[in-house]
Amino acid sequence: MILYWKMAWFFLKRMPKVISLVLNLITIFLTVFLLMGCSNLSNDSTFLVRYKFDRSSPFYNVIQKSFNQSNGTTQMSGLEQVSIASGYMGVCITNIPKDYDKGVKSVCYPRKDLANNPLYNDLSIELFNVPSSDKKSTQKQLPINLNILELAETTSRYVVHPYILMVTVILATLMFLMLIYSTIPALPFKYWVLRATLCVSAFLVLFWGIGAMWTHVGIHACSKLVPSASMGILKIHRGIKAAAMSWVSFAFLLAQLGILWFLYLRDRKNLSEEIDKINNTNNNQPPFHNPGDLSDSSTLNYKV
């Protein structure tokens, strides 16, 4: 029974460090999966914003008719049903008509240089023409186009940048390695590694806090601005899964920071108490006298 309680106390005493390591490991996995969202079809559900043509829009019939044609050898009928998801590292297009590209229904592309893709031009819709402002060519008409794929590329490339998330993954991995190093006994520089871990943890909370807020603002800005700017033609779905992953990872980093500082302050308090005990013990001891001094003193007194 005593051995059982000793083992339980041994694990409970080290439980905060174990919890800190577990939170750090979960954060690494969450941020990596969030970063890889929409980079391939297996991660297309982790998107920031998803764009679709709104079926309830009064322009939907016009859009549907504009796609009922062929572009050379390519049949574009049914492209109004596509769904385009924007992630940190790529753009995924689903519900592609089976007659468009040899039965390919879903495909993902990197977040840059989508203009070279045939779908980029095929998904561009000419809404109407406006007269040119050039006085020399009064008869010239300028087309007003709406490109749903271009909006998805703009979201991934300019609205929500992946660089903050990349640095967060690197720093979280570095902090996990430093925590592992500090738990292994008989290793040098553990004190300085612990200090560095505290600094990295505090910086990581601040850094990814900014990144999570940026993600939140970018998602909500797209969901509010794009439907109105497109005159109700486009319908926006917010990436609830990606938003939840960003905030949960931030919460885990914040909890880890609290645990690490709690352990550091607890160790400092225990060290201070040990130093006080040693000082009190030294003060309560009687003064030490050299036996030779006592003999000399007694001899001198005898002679006197």
Is the pLDDT confidence value at 33 over 90?
A: yes
**What pLDDT, on the 0 to 100 scale, is given for residue 294?**
43
Is the pLDDT confidence value at 146 over 70?
A: yes
Q: Distance between CA atoms of 301 and 289, rounded to whole angstroms?
A: 18
Residue 83's SS3 state is strand
Q: Distance between CA atoms of 295 and 298, rounded to whole angstroms?
A: 5
What average pLDDT does the segment 93-118 reach?
83
Supply angle C-alpha 88, 43, 220, rounded to 5. 45
What average pLDDT does the segment 123-134 reach?
68
**What pLDDT, on the 0 to 100 scale, is given for residue 31?**
95
The one-letter amino acid code at 69 reads: Q
**What pLDDT, on the 0 to 100 scale, is given for residue 134?**
59
pLDDT classification of 303: cutoffs 50, 70, 90 = very low
Is the pLDDT confidence value at 261 over 70?
A: yes
What average pLDDT does the segment 43-61 reach?
90
pLDDT classification of 138: cutoffs 50, 70, 90 = low
pLDDT greater at residue 281 or residue 89: 89
What average pLDDT does the segment 222-249 reach?
92
**What pLDDT, on the 0 to 100 scale, is given for residue 43?**
87
Q: Distance between CA atoms of 253 and 205, rounded to whole angstroms?
A: 6
Sequence ranges of the domains in the chain:
2-272
**What pLDDT, on the 0 to 100 scale, is given for residue 295?**
43
Q: CB burial class (10 A; 0-12, 13-18, 19+) of residue 172?
A: buried
What are the pLDDT digits (tens) for 2-31?
666 666 555 556 688 888 999 999 999 999
> Which string of b and e fits 226-259 if b means at least 16 CB within 10 Å?
bbeebeebbbbebbeebbebbeebbebbbebbeb
19-23, 89-93, 145-149, 273-277: range with lowest mean pLDDT: 273-277
Mean pLDDT of the chain: 82
Q: Extract the tokens encoding 113.
A: 């240089």
What average pLDDT does the segment 251-270 reach?
87
What are the pLDDT digits (tens) for 63-73?
888 887 766 66
pLDDT classification of 299: cutoffs 50, 70, 90 = very low
**What pLDDT, on the 0 to 100 scale, is given for residue 251?**
96
| Torsion sign (Cα): 27, 109, 87, 166 | positive
Give residues with Cβ within 8 angstroms of 123, minimum separation 6: 79, 82, 147, 148, 149
What are the pLDDT digits (tens) for 147-193?
899 899 989 888 988 999 999 999 999 999 999 988 888 888 888 88
pLDDT classification of 300: cutoffs 50, 70, 90 = very low
